[in-house]
Structure 1
Amino acid sequence: MIALITGATSGIGYATALAFADLDFQLILCGRRQDRLDALKDQLSEQTRVTTLAFDVRDRNDVEAAIQSLPTEWQAIDILVNNAGNAHGLSPIQDGDPADWDQMIDANVQGLLYVSKAVIPGMVARQRGHIVNLSSVAGKQTYANGAVYCASKAAVEALSTGMRLDLTQHGIKVTNIAPGAVETEFSMVRFKGDAERAAKVYEGFTPLTADDIADTIVYAVTAPAHVTIADLTILANAQAAATTIVRK
């Protein structure tokens, strides 16, 4: 089984790489930071076969060139985990920075499409495969000051449904995973390195971990052949909705 994971060098992507290695999946680990990819490859190569691709999902030419460069023995990708993405800024729409909007839309929507377009034709030709798209509870419930991020994740929700409609006939499963509050580098990126502000996001309750989401991805991709886990929303126990969290 060959699995390609985008955004594999941190957070949910990193945890998923570790979980897949425990299943003896062969791994194509993708990210922008070659040094982190090399370290992860060294870490996991004792368990399974690993190769890496360094590219930015926002760059279509970069994506296509990287995936086309895979040697023949790596081209039959069975599982694609579209994990790469980001949130930038938290402000009312009228105060939003268009550069932040570009970052989110380019990575969360276009990046997912670019990688999928490079991988799906091979799955269709083989009449099998599984695509896992990482959405967010924000894609299901828009919240104040997060309009563009929420819109980008709502697009992932729509794309997951559309992919399933188009690809089920080709034996390809599509799973949409919508995490709630997960403590990763997410808030550090959103708040542009402001560690104090990022830490406050997770104060007063126990958030989800990257491992929790990786466990769910494993559950989806190891389900019996006749079962498709179509859509899963995962919340922390203290979280009732996107921004409704009981803090103590």
Structure 2
Amino acid sequence: MTFHFFDPPCAMKPVAIFRHTPSEGPGYFAIFLEEHGIPWRLIAVDAGEAVPESPEDYAGLCFMGGPMSVNDPLPWIDATCQLIRQADAANIPLIGHCLGGQLISKALGGQITRNPVKEIGWGTVYAESDPLAQHWLGAFAGRVGTVFHWHGETFSLPEGASRLVSSPHCANQMFARGPHLAMQCHVEMTPEMITTWSTQWADEVATVADQSSVQSPEAMQEQTPQHLGAMRQLASQLYSVWIQGLAR
């Protein structure tokens, strides 16, 4: 395991960040934690690190993306879902990005199915405007925005969850359930990650290039300066609310 400690304002447990493939690291999420003096620990599932048996050593759990499906027969998926259920029972906050959001949905009783189309690249999303959305999204509630996507599946809303964000191609882009936040989109992106993904997975893009929900690698990179700032503000808003539930 890799440890990262940054003189938190008071002694606290670290946030566990679960990585499922090397190129889908914590990105801006880790930067945000560091800026707020919150320690974090990387658990590299892709490198064979075991899923902890209990969440009690952590202030919160964060699950990143990955190219696999949560419906695949991978040995760590059941263990991860069990850990998520334990954290939910203990009121330990969960946050998931793309695959991570799907893991949270599945563990809490949701279903993961094929999305009507793949969403890849920068795309429009619509934020809800109800009181819960206002709590999580702040000034972004009720607005139209642009975020980064890379997925072919989608989650349903588990019991007790409320949708915060949708898109023209994917009804459930984000939901909240108590202190937990699950996202289908990738608000954690950095410019370096966008360059790496659009280069590394160009062949996948080429197979669905005729879909209006898919951007070319060149378009993704060219539009990053235009959209990244606003998405980072949205990510900061979401992360700011999420960390309020961390065990101090």
- Which of the pair is proportionally richer in strand? 2
Q: Give me the TM-score of the superposition, normalised by structure 1.
A: 0.45
Looking at secondary structure, tell me which structure has more helix per residue: 1
TM-score (norm 2): 0.45
